Amino acid sequence: DADVTQTPRNRITKTGKRIMLECSQTKGHDRMYWYRQDPGLGLRLIYYSFDVKDINKGEISDGYSVSRQAQAKFSLSLESAIPNQTALYFCATSDIGTGNQPQHFGDGTRLSIL
């Protein structure tokens, strides 16, 4: 979805480095999510936020932290990157609206940790 922008698109870094992945959206959605995808597997939820003051851990939050700087911005940090965090990372948004609203995904960040 072009309205959900992830930066960078690709990143190669070394073990022990601090990494920040950024997500911004122009959809005006309250809810934002960070997922991780390993090769051949489905998406696993890292963190999610239902509004600026709300942060929740997902199923695999260890080794990660997040910051919801504004309604439109949600960043994912790896404080000290390790090789098994090499993966494809996706940001998503959804509207709280009426009924159940689907998630809209960015194009992903491919992260390689050497």
Interaction mask 23-62, other proteins, x per CB under 8 A: --------x-x-x-x--xxxxxx--x-x-----x-xx---
Nearer to other proteins, 62 or 99 (CB): 99
CA 4 to chain centre: 11
Footprint on this chain of other proteins (rule: CB under 8 A): 1, 4, 31, 33, 35, 37, 40-45, 48, 50, 56, 58-59, 88, 90, 92, 94, 96, 99-100, 102-108, 110
